[in-house]
Amino acid sequence: DLVTLWEQWGGVKGKTIAIIGDLRHSRVARSNLHALPKLGATVNLFGPPTLVPRQLQMHEKVKICADFGEAVSKADAVMVLRIQRERMTQGFLPSLADYSRGFGLTKQRAELLRPDAIILHPGPINRGVEIDDAVADSDRSVILRQVENGVFARMAVLQWLLEEVRK
* Confidence at 58, pLDDT banded by 50, 70, 90: confident
Whole-model pTM? 0.91
> How does pLDDT run across 15-41, given as a tens digit for each residue?
999 999 999 889 999 999 999 999 999
* Confidence at 97, pLDDT banded by 50, 70, 90: confident
pLDDT at 145: 95
pLDDT at 54: 84
Whole-number Å distance between alpha carbons of 81 and 152? 20
Q: Which residues of 29-66 are buried (b: 16+ CB within 10 A; e: fewer)?
A: beebbeebbeeebbbbbbbbeebbeeebeeeebbbbbe
Residue 91 pLDDT exceeds 80: no
Residue 105 pLDDT exceeds 90: yes
